[in-house]
């Protein structure tokens, strides 16, 4: 088996290659003057199985097209098993039709990955596990929560683990079990026209003088987290640690979290991060374990 490093790996391909002691082939790539992608696998591959690592962080559309080109090129090279590892899976939040006529974006993306020639797909903490059923092949979920838990356990003992909505409750539960502590969630609702998120109810949390860890899969604009931070701070939380698997941090999202009262932001490296701002948890070990 060989590791193929795609055009968007954030160094994860190199670390996984070292951890598993597998040969790494880096894809050659460039962008033509008209914006189109050029892809080349620079070596003839004799192995029948490869692991292609390609994250799909912004610019998502370019990285997706690169992925399709790489998969089909490997298929043309007669590779029998093309195992795609996507540390961040773009379009995963549009996993069903919220309004009539909407595209189910993640379904389209997963269909295209499969039809390009991928035989299996592994994703780091997808938005919804069931959306992987759209991929007509073997799928695996890479769980980074134990690695996040190790980092948090060094910073606080017995915090309340809080999910910013019911959909993130499973993550909160898994993290709380690692930290040997309690957990709960906040109810929220989203306006389907504007996309605005607001807290639906404000539960009475026994957090006065206590640390709180907020956990979610994605931080995009940070709106949901900001509301949650403000809520627990008003109820007397001591320190608020904000954690997520995928940190997009659109616009001034990071600044909003800090201004709202976050003590620290803990994020994995599925998307490139600024280590001077956030604590970065490497998912390479989790990926290597899954492979």
Kindly report, residue by residue over 120-164, the tens digit of the pLDDT.
Answer: 999 999 998 999 999 999 999 999 999 999 999 999 998 999 998
CA distance linking residue 1 with residue 223, whole number of Å:
43
- What is the DSSP track for 170-218? HHHHHHHHHHT--EEE--EEE-TTT--EEES-------TT--EEEEEEE
Tell me the fold of 145-269: Rossmann fold (3.40.50)
Residue 192: per-residue pLDDT? 55
What is this structure's pTM? 0.90
* Phi, psi angle pair for 206, to nearest 5°: -85, 75
- pLDDT classification of 278: cutoffs 50, 70, 90: very high
Arithmetic mean of pLDDT, 260-277? 96
Residue 4: per-residue pLDDT? 98
Residue 282: per-residue pLDDT? 97
Quick: pLDDT tens for 64-108. Answer: 999 999 999 999 999 999 999 999 999 998 777 788 888 899 999
Quick: pLDDT tens for 164-217. Answer: 888 788 999 999 999 999 998 887 665 555 555 555 555 566 788 899 999 999
Q: How many CB atoms lie within 10 A of CB 174?
A: 18
Sign of CA dihedral 128, 141, 132, 103: positive
* Phi, psi angle pair for 267, to nearest 5°: -135, 150
Residue 201: per-residue pLDDT? 54
CB 67 within 8 A of CB 75: no
CA distance linking residue 162 with residue 185, whole number of Å:
5
Give catalytic residues, as residue numbers. Answer: 188
| Locus of tokens 């090279």 | 77
Q: How many percent of the chain have pLDDT more than 90?
A: 78
Q: How many percent of the chain have pLDDT more than 70?
A: 94
Residue 189: per-residue pLDDT? 61
Closest CA to 55 of 34, 26, 85, 31: 85
Coil vs helix vs strand at 75: helix
Arithmetic mean of pLDDT, 265-289? 96
DSSP 281: E
Residue 167: per-residue pLDDT? 78
| Residue intervals in the chain for CATH 3.40.50.2020 | 2-143, 145-269
* Phi, psi angle pair for 43, to nearest 5°: -135, 150
Annotated binding-site residues read 34-36, 93-94, 127, 165, 190, 216, 220-224
DSSP 8: -
Average pLDDT, the chain: 92
CA distance linking residue 3 with residue 24, whole number of Å:
5
CA distance linking residue 199 with residue 253, whole number of Å:
18
Tell me the fold of 2-143: Rossmann fold (3.40.50)
């Amino acid at each position: 088996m060989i590791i193929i490093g795609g055009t968007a790996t954030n160094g994860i391909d190199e670390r996984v290659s070292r951890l598993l002691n597998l040969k790494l082939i880096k894809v050659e790539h460039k962008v033509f003057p008209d914006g189109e992608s050029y892809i080349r696998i620079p070596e003839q591959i004799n192995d029948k199985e490869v692991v292609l690592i390609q994250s799909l962080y912004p610019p998502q559309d370019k990285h997706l097209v690169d992925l399709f080109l790489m998969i089909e090129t490997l298929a043309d090279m007669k590779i029998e098993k093309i195992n795609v590892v996507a540390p961040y899976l773009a379009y995963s939040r549009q996993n069903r039709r919220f309004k009539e006529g909407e595209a189910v974006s993640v379904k389209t993306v997963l269909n295209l990955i499969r039809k390009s020639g991928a035989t299996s797909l592994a994703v780091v903490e997808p938005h919804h596990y069931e959306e992987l059923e759209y991929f007509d092949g073997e799928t695996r979920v890479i769980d980074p929560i134990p690695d996040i838990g190790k980092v948090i356990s060094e910073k606080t003992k017995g915090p309340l683990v809080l999910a910013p909505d019911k959909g993130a409750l499973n993550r909160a539960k898994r993290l709380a079990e690692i930290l040997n502590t309690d957990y709960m969630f906040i109810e929220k609702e989203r306006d389907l026209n504007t996309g605005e998120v607001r807290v639906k109810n404000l539960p009475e949390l026994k957090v006065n003088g206590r640390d709180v860890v907020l956990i979610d899969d994605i931080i995009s604009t940070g709106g949901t987290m900001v509301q949650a931070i403000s809520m627990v701070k008003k109820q007397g939380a001591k320190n608020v640690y904000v954690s997520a698997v995928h940190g997009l941090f659109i616009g001034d999202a990071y600044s909003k979290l800090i201004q709202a009262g976050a003590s620290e932001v803990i994020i994995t490296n599925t998307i490139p991060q600024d280590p001077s701002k956030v604590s970065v948890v490497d998912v390479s070990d989790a990926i290597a374990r899954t492979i």
